[in-house]
Amino acid sequence: MEPFLQTLIAGILLGGLYSLIGIGMTLILGVMKIINLTHGQLMMVAMYITFWLFSIFKLDPYLSLFIAPPLLFLFGMGLQKFLIDPVLKVESILPHNQVILTVGIGMVLQNLATIFFTSDYRSTPVSYATDAWYLSDVWKTAPIELSLSFSWTISFCIAVAITIMLWYFLAKTDTGKSIRATAQDLDAAMLMGVNVNMMRMITFGIGSAMVAASGCLFIPIYYLFPALGSQFTLIAFVITILGGMGSTMGAIIGGLILGVFESVTATYVGMGWAPAGRFVVFIAALVFLPGGVASLLKRHAIRKSK
């Protein structure tokens, strides 16, 4: 029981961070209808920014949240404007040119990181890295012992806060509404006077900033190396598929499911199999739940309204 609960807690905390990664991807997918296969590499870039800020200026990784995401926001807008947007207009036989393009961008980023920062594993050894709260601290006679890592918990809470902020932005602000309009119906949005190109740029920027924020939250509890980029790109799209393409709520649930599932696989099957478990979830979602969690939510909503 005890290991299981501990695994569950670890899974939920991990899932919260995964959700944040997934939201960025699904947002880009919803608005631009392309899969951003350089998503994890953007996260890696943000993590290196955070790492160097920590190493040189002793800046706490969590404070990098005010630096790395804005930088990645600009970087993402630039990628959209100068590389992805031109390709949308190029006529070609292969239908997935933009996807392949993002693969190319990812290759460049990952390789440049290897050249400049070597493929060494890096981490930010913060003073509170091993701090944790224990159940026995608050409940002396507890029958089981559970721990809650300090930095995992902080990261999780910040991830939740960012998600709520994003929700507020999309639901309440004019720009957010325009972005949602663009995602729902491009032509209609254009007719209503939405500057669609601008919205695309902003969306890609926000998506990049979101994943950059995940990077800042991950680095205190994880380590960093260039190939981490492609690993997280895969995670991001598994979440996206699991959640249902373009659905924010789906991405949150998808992230949590994946987090718990990986945590359970790592504990009970073996560390090496955790990535395989990821893909089993992914393929199962494709086969049994083609619309992802979002389709279940929708079905539920329809049943309720009847």
Partner 1 sequence: MSLLNVDNVSIFFGGLAAVSNVSFDVEKGEILAIIGPNGAGKTTLFNIVNGFYAPSKGKVSFNGEVISGLKPHQICRRGLARTFQVVKPLQRMSVLDNVIASSFLRCDTKAKAEAVSREVLQFTGLTEDADIISKGLPLGKRKRLEIARALATGPELILLDESFAGLNPAELDVSIEIIRGIKARGITIMIIEHHMKVIMAISDRIVVLNHGQKIAAGLPAEVASNPTVVEAYLGAEH
Partner 2 sequence: MKRYFPIIVLAVLCVLPLVGLNTYLMHIVILSVMWAVCGMAWNLLGGYCGQVSFGHAAFFGTGAYCSGILAMKFKISAWYGFLLSVPLNVAVALSMGLIVLRLRGPYFVLATLAIGEVFRIFAENVVDLTNGNLGIMIERTWVEKTQFYYIVLGLGLLAYAVVKFITESRWGYYFVAIREDQDAAESLGINTTLYKTIALTVSAVLTGFAGSFYMVYMGYIDPQIVFSLGEISILMIMVVMVGGVATFWGPTVGAVIMVILAELIRSIPRVGVAYQTLFGILLIVIIIYLPNGLVGDFPKIRRMFQRGAA
Chain contacts with partner 1 (rule: CB under 8 A)? 93, 302, 305-306
Contact 202, 169 (CB under 8 A): no
Q: How far is the CB of 306 from partner 1 (least distance, A)?
A: 6
Q: Which residues in the 52-91 window bind partner 2 by CB under 8 A?
A: 83, 86-87, 90-91
- For CA atoms 255, 105, 187, 201, give the dihedral sign: positive
Distance CA 285, CA 123 (A): 34
Contact 254, 239 (CB under 8 A): yes
Q: Does residue 100 touch partner 2 according to CB under 8 A? A: yes
Applying CB under 8 A, among 1, 56, 287, 302 the residue interacting with partner 2 is 287
Q: Are strands 132-134 and 147-149 parallel, antiparallel or unpaired?
A: antiparallel
Q: How far is the CB of 299 from partner 1 (least distance, A)?
A: 9
Q: How far is the CB of 238 from partner 2 (least distance, A)?
A: 7
Q: Which of these ranges, 3-11, 46-54, 95-103, 174-182, lies near partner 2 under the rule CB under 8 A?
A: 95-103
Q: How far is the CB of 41 from partner 2 (least distance, A)?
A: 10
Residues contacting residue 251 through CB under 8 Å, at least 6 positions apart: 19, 22, 23, 25, 26, 239, 240, 243
306 binds, among partner 2, partner 1, none (CB under 5 to 8 A by kind): partner 1
Distance CA 50, CA 52 (A): 6
Kindly tell me the burial class for residue 199, based on how many C-beta atoms sit within 10 Å of its own C-beta (0-12, 13-18, 19 or more): buried
Crossing angle of the two packed helices 196-218 and 174-184, in degrees rounded to 10 = 110
Contact code string over 211-230 relative to partner 2, x by CB under 8 A = -------------------x
Q: Which amino acid is at 155?
A: S
Neighbours of 56 (CB within 10 A): 8
- In angstroms and rounded to an integer, the radius of gyration of the C-alpha atoms of the chain is 20
Distance CA 39, CA 78 (A): 14
Contact code string over 148-187 relative to partner 2, x by CB under 8 A = ----------------------------------------
280 binds, among partner 1, partner 2, none (CB under 5 to 8 A by kind): partner 2
Q: Does residue 27 touch partner 2 according to CB under 8 A? A: no
Q: Which residues in the 250-279 window bind partner 2 by CB under 8 A?
A: 270, 272-273, 275-276, 279
272 binds, among partner 2, partner 1, none (CB under 5 to 8 A by kind): partner 2
302 binds, among partner 2, partner 1, none (CB under 5 to 8 A by kind): partner 1
Tokens for 265, please give them.
């696989």
Applying CB under 8 A, the residues found at the interface with partner 2 are: 29, 33-35, 83, 86-87, 90-97, 99-101, 103-108, 110-112, 114-115, 230, 234, 237-238, 241, 245, 270, 272-273, 275-276, 279-280, 282-283, 286-287, 290
